[in-house]
Structure 1
Amino acid sequence: MTDNDREQIALFRFSLISPILNRQVKKQNEYLAKVAAKKHNVPYYGVREYSPKTIAMWVRAYRKGGFEGLKPKPRNDKGKSRVLTPELKEVILEAREDHPDRSVSLLYDQLITEKKMLPSQASYSTVYRFLKKKNLLVNSPRKEENRRRFAYDQVNMLWQGDEMYGPYLNLDGKKVKTFLFAFIDDCSRVITYAKFLTTEKFSAVQQVLSEAILRRGIPKLLYVDNGKVYHSDNLHFACASLGITLIHTKPYDAQSKGKIERYFLTVRKRFLPLLTDDDLSSLDKLNQRFFSWLEKDYHRKVHSSLKMTPLDKYMSQISQVKTYDDPEKLKMLFLKRAQRKVRHDGTISVNSKLYQVPPVYIGKKVKIRFDPETYDNIYLYENGKCITKAEPVIMADNAHAKRGNPISFAKMTEGGSKNV
């Protein structure tokens, strides 16, 4: 099992327990029983079922160790192969032939119950991989949930996020497209943060969501569409680390995000017509005009559904807001995660560039995090904590670095050498 597999499994486990962590569940035992009654397509393991006790254990693990606590522990016998004997293969294939419609999880449990196989002889994942290789898995049909209307009476319970096409800027005679990224609080209709940007990349989502969290606190649920940037692993990891449940809408289903879509309509009707040529002469001027309109007009205008302004509604529950005031730590949560093996010269390669790491890691695999768009800084992580920053290799500096070897090329060329 790779580190990426362990992270994906942790994300899956978090998706099951997040309603409990965010107090969406009134009766925990009933929720656990409901989840345990379903079959789940688990990363690495495949289709599995879990007992309420196991899921409750994940809740305790997250509360104790955070996101890292949900990762499966490395195997004690790592490095040793697990091979099914010919006899065991025959037993498994025989059971599959007798019960072709049963899930691998149920098949495995029955083999253990009937004492045809011992748990120590083969794990569930070993049996799953064997049947997968033989194309003998059974895929359960996916059941779609009915969409229901929702409205929360608590601020920061749910934020909706999306983007809309903005006006074109006129920069030195060239038209530049803009995009408005925004997040709205479902209860108060406050725009937790919004900004016009000239990119649709993940950095735009990161910038706006980070600022929203620093300004308005941490939401329990984040409801976004199916765009590529919202499916980024970086966003999944950041949300899981913050205890935010990330929810995606169905494709091409704008109605499911009614509040943010209604806000964008307000922007088109009440803000865009106010823009002048000077406002569109730079991105900074466009955003300055937008921020001013947002605070003076939108946030202070009585909302027809709330019968009060969005800002007043939000401030009425300000004591319930869970704040976050560490910008640097928040920035680190959104970095891309990867793994590299340290070469014998103490370097790793990232984006075709070499970076120096402490010699103690030579020959070992290290976990790193970085911004995939800028590659400005490469950080080394161990057990979920940043331990140091990898420095770019500068060949010219290395050529003059002092080394333990007393023999130098310069001395060898000065009037010959006794070593020649």
Structure 2
Amino acid sequence: MSRGAFTAEDRAILLRRHLDEGIPLTRLSTDSGIPVRTLSRWMSQYRANGTVESLERQPRSDRGKRAIPQDLIEAIEGLALRRPAPTAAFIHRRIADIASARGHPVPGYSTVRAVIAGIDPGLKMLAHQGETAYRDTFELVYRRTATRPNEQWQADHTLLDLEIIDPKGHASRPWLTIILDDYSRAAAGYSIFVGAPSAERTALALHQAIRGKTNPSWPVMGLPDMLYSDHGSDFTSARLERVCLDTHIQLIHSKPGVPQGRGKIERFYLTITTELLPHLPGYIPHGTRGRPSRPAELTLEQLDQILEKFIVTEYNHRPHSSTNQAPAERWSASGFIPRTPAHPEDLDLLLLTVAAARKVQRDGIRFASTRYVSPVLAAYVGENVTVRYDPRDAGEIRVYFNDEFLCRAIAPELASESITLEQLQNARTKRRRELKQQLRERRSLADALPTDARYTPSTNAVIPPAEVPAPATEPTPQHKLRVYETD
């Protein structure tokens, strides 16, 4: 055991053996491995004070102080904070030259490394990785925390690690827009689409979040007091600001380039990426440079159905790791009555941004090759109206006359089921292709029929012999010189 490992009590017991039992210090030195001089010094301290505390190891007076001059310490730190960061060996060689030039003793390599290791980590990160890395690691973050349901919703987009078959038959990566309740972590609404995020997609997700759901297992609805989003152009659009103003929603944006404070919605995306997408064809694992593990098979409509099932039946109804409650249960537990729009039709006017002008015909409104009818339209035959619709459900449209809500018109053949406009368009395209194929087949059959010879002249008719031309006589040679015989 080393001398430093002996406590004051251990030293006192060792010295008592010498005082009480008469064991010589030389024998104690042999048994303990402590030099005789050290034991003699301890004995002198003990006899002078008579207390165990006098045998405590005294700290060094120069503890915490480096033996190298301050100017060399500053030089080491200055070299270490350069960008890119130099190695400790390089800094030691430079400091050795500087110390020799200034007449100082050359510090050892371990001393230089100790000085480098003692630099403030925040200072090193700021010097080597920049302000963004320092902010994301060391700056304090204010996390907005709601105290009740619908007090604050978060909205964001993400590009899914998945390939699907888009309407044109190409492999594409879809985007997901999600509306998340901050208090319960429940998903209130979403929008899945192909193409860049836009204000229209955000409006559709917000429309679904606010309106009551047909599925009783998805109770989240109503108007939030606050909508928190990033600083993207779709979230800062004038239309979304108008929607929030008209519905009395406070719109708050995070600072540009500062994602902190939105970790809850990022955690939801991580759940989707790790628990749902790996089970789907077309999933793109991390580190594969965008190549899916299996070929894409799902369409956008199929992915929409799968995502809704995962949100409603799994995510919203299992305990969350942060709250230890199921999101849907936590949202409904307080028994509050959500704030709803005074006129739901006004919400449709604000959020259903897809609009088209049509004229009311005697049999209703023709839109997307489909007939929509309503008894209210009887008084507006011949009038120009504006129709708005939800691309997710082409079974009905909202009709506005002079920007005032008029009625909801339904398509009789679609009213019994929910069908998207894209499905309707795909069905029409498929039918048109089938008809074109039938047309080509019938034309090819017609081309293969024998020629109609009813009016072709008969082959038994007497054909007059062709008139035989007279043999040609040799032409009289022409001479440039006129002679008497040919004159």
More strand by share: 1
TM-score after normalising by structure 2? 0.39
Taking CA–CA contacts closer than 8 Å with sequence separation of 6 or more, which of the two structures ends up with the larger relative contact order? 1
TM-score after normalising by structure 1? 0.45
Larger Rg: 2
